[in-house]
Amino acid sequence: MEETAKKRMLSGIQPSGDLHLGNYLGAIKNWADRVNDYECYYFMADLHTITVRQEPAELRRRSLNQLAQYIACGLDPEKNVLFLQSQVPAHTQLAWVLNCYTMFGELSRMTQFKDKSAKYSNNINAGLFTYPVLMAADILLYQPDYVPVGEDQKQHVELCRDIAQRFNSIYGDVFTVPEPLIAKTGARIYGLTTPEGKMSKSVPDGCVFLMDSPDDIRRKFKRAVTDSDTENCVRYDKAAKPGVANLMNIYATITGKSIPEIEAEFAGQGYGVFKPAVGEAVVEALCPIREEAEHLMADKAYLDGVYRAGAEKAAYVANKTLRKVYKKVGFYQGL
Ligand code: ATP
Ligand code: LTN
């Protein structure tokens, strides 16, 4: 791969559910815009996904379909390295080494481990415990400058930094110590029926999936919760009218209009006009994405080729780091 002066960025996504409007507006759309300024690596973290029991056929289906959906959202595989974690063996190879440089106490303090072991108390497996070590390996193999993640993953990136610094302090500068990049301004989209909580696949009712049909989308917006008062006026007031504020944010993010412009546009008109208008804007934005994703999903050979090419590019960078690590720790690598 050609050497560039661009800063490098890497992030992983678990193929654990269908993508929705929150994922698109809050994350994927911004990633697609970033490609000119950074060298970007994005991978599907399928190895991480099996820390919670998965249906094998579903996991396989999602690993391919999500790639199609990401590409349809504008993540160009010619400009970003897109790959599947399990297709680059260096991830598990480095994870073993890093396991020996990570402390039991550090892993015990991870809030995600505590949360997930409470939630899946009948399956507290070792993978769930060492999850952050594999994540550190995912990151450090590529020597990225930045790791864009949600707030919930910050603790894992900080542990990754600690592991990198510990390793570097013993063996010299092997790893770039990455910075977490936590989106502060990224759109936060709330559930259409539960505007007090974020839009999430676990509340499918108020969740608009990227692959929903136009009619499903229109229906979900018609049923969106507005407010309990009888004001029936499109006015931005997040505390008093969270449902309306959420719809206004969605409309603003998609159309590029400002909140005052939206208030003016719907002045004197009630929610009966506003909700279908937001629904229509979302239909318009998602329709081409869904059509492109369906088109790509039908072409499994193409998607397979993207994964193959991505794995090859990724492995080239990853193996370079792995060889260095193996040498440093004293593994005999032949004459
Ligand atoms: P769950 O449904 O289990 O809560 P999720 O659908 O929120 O999961 P994640 O895998 O946690 O999906 O998130 C993937 C990316 O999408 C993250 O970068 C996250 O910040 C972003 N994201 C998820 N939900 C929203 C949302 N409602 N608004 C904005 N961004 C979101
Ligand atoms: N744990 C992350 C997914 C993930 C990741 C990574 C993110 C796995 N490996 C490396 C950034 C860098 C999650 O659940 N969102």
Q: Which residue out of 154, 201, 324, 328 is catalytically annotated?
A: 201
31-40 pLDDT, tens per residue? 888 889 999 9
140-150 pLDDT, tens per residue? 999 999 999 88
Q: Which residue out of 198, 257, 313, 328 is catalytically annotated?
A: 198
> Contacts from 161-170 at CB under 8 Å and sequence distance 24+?
162/106, 163/98, 163/101, 163/102, 163/133, 163/136, 164/136, 164/140, 166/101, 167/98, 167/101, 167/325
Two tokens, residue 48:
């991480």
Taking the C-alpha atoms of residue 193 and residue 225, their distance in angstroms, rounded to an integer, is 5
pTM assigned to the model: 0.89
Domain with CATH 1.10.240.10 in the chain: 204-295
Distance 179 CA to ligand 1 centre (A): 20
Q: Is 198 labeled as catalytic in the residue annotation?
A: yes
In our burial notation (b when 16+ CB lie closer than 10 A, e otherwise), range 8-17 reads bbbbbbbbbb
**115 CB less than 6 Å from ligand 1?**
no
Task: Fold for 204-295, please state it.
Answer: Tyrosyl-Transfer RNA Synthetase (1.10.240)
Shortest-distance Cα residue to atom 21 of ligand 1: 23
Average pLDDT, the chain: 94
Which numbered atom of ligand 2 lies nearest the CA of 131?
1
37, exposed or middle or buried, with CB in 10 Å at 0-12, 13-18, 19+?
exposed
59-82 pLDDT, tens per residue? 999 999 999 999 999 999 999 999
Distance 190 CA to ligand 2 centre (A): 22
- What pLDDT band is residue 243 in, cutting at 50, 70 and 90? very high
Domain with CATH 3.40.50.620 in the chain: 7-187+300-329
Q: So what's the pLDDT on residue 151? A: 83
150-202 pLDDT, tens per residue? 888 999 999 999 999 999 999 999 999 999 998 765 678 999 999 989 899 88
CB atoms within 10 A of CB 115: 11
**122 CB less than 6 Å from ligand 1?**
no
- Quick one: how far is CA 133 from the chain centroid? 19
Q: So what's the pLDDT on residue 229? A: 63
**235 CB less than 6 Å from ligand 1?**
no
Shortest-distance Cα residue to atom 5 of ligand 2: 12
- What pLDDT band is residue 227 in, cutting at 50, 70 and 90? confident
Q: So what's the pLDDT on residue 250? A: 95
Please state which CATH class domain 7-187+300-329 belongs to. Answer: alpha beta
Distance 188 CA to ligand 1 centre (A): 9
Cβ-contact 75, 32 below 8 angstroms: yes
Which numbered atom of ligand 1 lies nearest the CA of 150?
20
Question: At residue 1, does pLDDT exceed 70?
Answer: no
Cβ-contact 109, 68 below 8 angstroms: no
